[in-house]
Chains A and B, each alone.
Chain A
Amino acid sequence: MDKYTTHTGTVLPLRRSNVDTDQIIPAVYLKRVTKSGFEDGLFGAWRNDPEFVLNKPEFAGATVLVAGVDFGTGSSREHAVWALQNYGFKAVISSRFADIFRGNSQKAGLLTVVLPQDDVEAIWSAVEEDPKTQITVDLENKNVRYGAKTVAFVIDDYTRWRLMEGLDDIGLTMKKIDEVSAFEAKRASYKPKTLPVLS
């Protein structure tokens, strides 16, 4: 996972709430067996509309997605995170994220930032007025800056540390593997096993 400290770029203002993962990447695009190449499926259905914000030339090259409340609901597909990353997004801002999407993005190194809906609206207005507006999403200082504005956000220290160090969760857990073995030694005998196959 790449380290994330701070990122500056332009914004894609997605004025929609309840953007579920079926919209972020429809199921028909999930058949790849790699983590790359999902950019073609990003917002696969909505993209057919030439008026859809992703198709507007003034927002081309945006790297920060700012969306309405309840972003990433629905399916647990991490492909939604990969599709956003493959397309070039480094951070997503919303007033509320679905739990699984947020977890997936934190594992994959896509920063998700929760800001109050009023701040989301203010960013939308600012970038619709001037699509070239540069926004900085600063994990180190836990704030979002654009124009003359600075808005602080909250993120737990552990997740922040992991993202800033680009740490792999499995590597961290492997350091505790003796504790896992000790736990396993105490598990009840009646807990089911999938092997051998019983019928």
Chain B
Amino acid sequence: MGKTLAEKIWADHVVSSKEGEPDLLYIDLHLIHEVTSPQAFDGLRLAGRPVRRPDLTIATEDHNVPTLNIDKPIADPVSKLQVDTLRKNCAEFGVRIHSLGDVEQGIVHVVGPQLGITQPGMTIVCGDSHTSTHGAFGALAFGIGTSEVEHVLATQTLPLVRPKTMAINVTGKLKPGVTSKDIILAIIAKIGTGGGQGYVLEYRGEAIRALSMESRMTVCNMSIEAGARAGLIAPDEITFEYLKGKPHAPQGADWDAAVAYWKTLQSDSDAKFDKEINLNADELEPFVTWGTNPGQGLPLNAKVPNPADIADAEERGAAERALTYMGLTAGTPLKDISVDTIFLGSCTNGRIEDLRLAADILKGKKISGKVRMLVVPGSARVRLQAESEGLDKVFLDAGAEWRTAGCSMCLGMNPDQLAVGERAASTSNRNFEGRQGKGGRTHLVSPLVAAATALRGTLSSPADL
């Protein structure tokens, strides 16, 4: 019997395998940031261990950093200590770091791909659950905790139990105004936040093949919101084209050898997945979440659901709680919901194509007087690219704020937060209670919906303009 893509990559990285034990898996790339690494470096120091492969490790500052006045010291002393600790640790252990102000600084999952160090067939880990983003290249990439960060620093391996595999077949063609963000929100709504638990997801089908690399990253990014640690897409010409010429992409004969290997990275036609899910892209509409977990989403044309209509008692209770927290009434058309904040950014939708999509909608227009809009590029490079295309002017002329790179309001660790009761349309990945600031309310949307909503002040798609 053939193998799935995930099984092939797994098999290529097994260092040691023994009955009754997890496999010991080699890790090709370890990405690091300031929040989940300090305790891991401490552990190394206590045990007197070096970083085994600094040349397979890279750090950037993203979760905690301000997106304003980055030429000045970080104002919050606790945030500053965490960032300073990362700098000190990287210097002590010889790890490459891209600090605030560096042209390669940015959200860790934006930086890897743009440097070309994210490549097909690799195993990639980071102390961040959205590491699944890198799966868009046909890499097995997943988030880990701090104990595992220390383990990878010390040994460049991880003991892991082989996950099950799930195929998600997306057939058909997306309508104009519908994006890869809507695909993944629809998938999560369909299988639920626990649906992917224990699986690696492989996104397949013509609708996936038609996506650009950046759109594929948006899909894989939110695999974790479906409960899966990793999601991946087999590499193809679009992948190779994206990688070619990137700073760390293979060159010359290495490029040819790499591409020859990458072309083998497909699930075999007779491979068997543990589970298969089908979705028709023809039927998709712009999607939005109404609740407090990413599975609580609906097409924008729908109404806020009535918990009484939900058969499952657990889900009904969760829906009731969510509506209370979100301050919503069952039966309200989603498009009647007013927001006061728009967040365009994050590792989900903070890349140049996302900014272009939104800028295209905003060009020559003004955002509603009732909303503030934060545009936070995913990396310093994305920011520079956007500025070279004049997108910053489009955003500023429309009345939005143009910031520097970081995770920002996706998780509100830095000063970019919602106030109590504020409501955001956000291109990020989590609508959990308080995620974007204590008492804040989040509706997850695509960049197109975010831009249209900014103009109208109510949840809207470009077709409503």
Contact code string A83-101 (vs B, CB < 8 Å = 1, else 0): 0000000000000101110
Most chain B CB atoms below 10 A, which of A33, A77, A195: A33
Please tell me if the beta carbons of B57 and A76 are within 8 angstroms of each other in the complex: no
From A33, A70, A77, A193, contact of B55 by CB (8 A)? A193
Q: Which residues in window 151-199 of A have CB below 8 A to B?
A: 156-158, 169-170, 172-174, 176-177, 179-180, 183-184, 187-195, 197-199
| A38-B240 Cα distance, complex, nearest whole Å | 44
B248 sits at the interface (CB 8 A): yes
A173 near B78 with CB under 8 A, answer no
Q: Please, how many angstroms separate the alpha-carbon atoms of A187 and B228 in the complex?
A: 28
B155 adjacent to chain A (CB < 8 Å): yes
Interface contact B147-A194, CB-CB below 8 Å? no
Q: Within residues 41 to 90 of chain A, which ones have a CB less than 8 A from any CB in chain B?
A: 45, 68-70, 73-79, 81
Of B78, B157, B229, B293, which contacts A31 at CB under 8 A?
B78
User: Per-residue CB proximity of B50-66 to A under 8 Å, as 1/0?
Assistant: 00001111100001100
Stretch from B190-198, B366-374, B387-395 contacting the other chain: B190-198
In the complex, whether B85 has a CB less than 8 A from a CB of chain A is: yes
Q: Which of B54, B228, B413 has the most CB of A within 10 A?
A: B413
Expressed in whole angstroms, the Cα–Cα distance for A16 and B36 within the complex equals 27
Give Cα distance in the complex from A81 to B35, angstroms: 15
Question: Which stretch, B13-21, B166-174, B279-287, B353-361, touches the partner chain A?
Answer: B13-21
Q: Which chain A positions have C-beta within 8 A of B82?
A: 31, 33
Top 4 A-B pairs, shortest CB-CB distance: A104-B145, A107-B147, A78-B145, A33-B38
Contact with A along B214-250 (1 / 0, CB 8 A): 0000000000100111000000000000000001111
- Give how many B residues have a beta carbon under 8 Å from the other chain's beta carbons: 86
Bound CA span A76–B229, Å: 10
Whether, in the assembled complex, A122 has its beta carbon less than 8 Å from a beta carbon of chain B, the answer is: no
- The segment out of A2-10, A18-26, A130-138, A141-149 that lies at the interface is A18-26
Q: Is the CB of A192 within 8 A of B193?
A: no
B413 near A31 (CB under 8 angstroms)?
yes
Q: How far is the CA of A100 from the CA of B227 in the complex (A)?
A: 9
Residues of B within 8 A of A35 (CB): 39
Judging by beta carbons under 8 Å apart, are A107 and B148 in contact? yes
A28 vs B35: C-alpha distance when bound (angstroms): 11
Q: Is the CB of B248 within 8 A of A20?
A: no
Contact B293 A45 (CB under 8 A): no
User: B78's closest neighbor in chain A, by CB?
Assistant: A31
Q: Count residues of chain A with CB under 8 A from any CB of chain B.
A: 62
Residues 291-324 of B contacting A (Cβ, < 8 Å): 293, 314-315, 317-318, 321
Asked if A108 lies at the interface with its beta carbon under 8 angstroms from chain B, I say yes
Residue in A closest to B84 when the chains form the complex, CB atoms: A33
Extra contacts besides A104-B147, A158-B20 (16): CB < 8 Å: A16-B321, A20-B293, A20-B432, A33-B42, A73-B227, A98-B197, A100-B143, A170-B49, A173-B151, A187-B26, A191-B28, A192-B248, A192-B249, A194-B57, A194-B117, A198-B248
* Chain B residues within an 8 Å CB radius of A188: 257-258, 261
Tell me the smallest distance from the CB of B24 to a CB of chain A, in Å: 6
Give the docked Cα–Cα distance between A30 and B81 (Å).
Answer: 12
Cα A96 to Cα B15 with chains together (Å): 30
- Which chain A residues border B411 with CB–CB below 8 Å? 22, 27, 75
A18→B145 contact, CB < 8 A: no
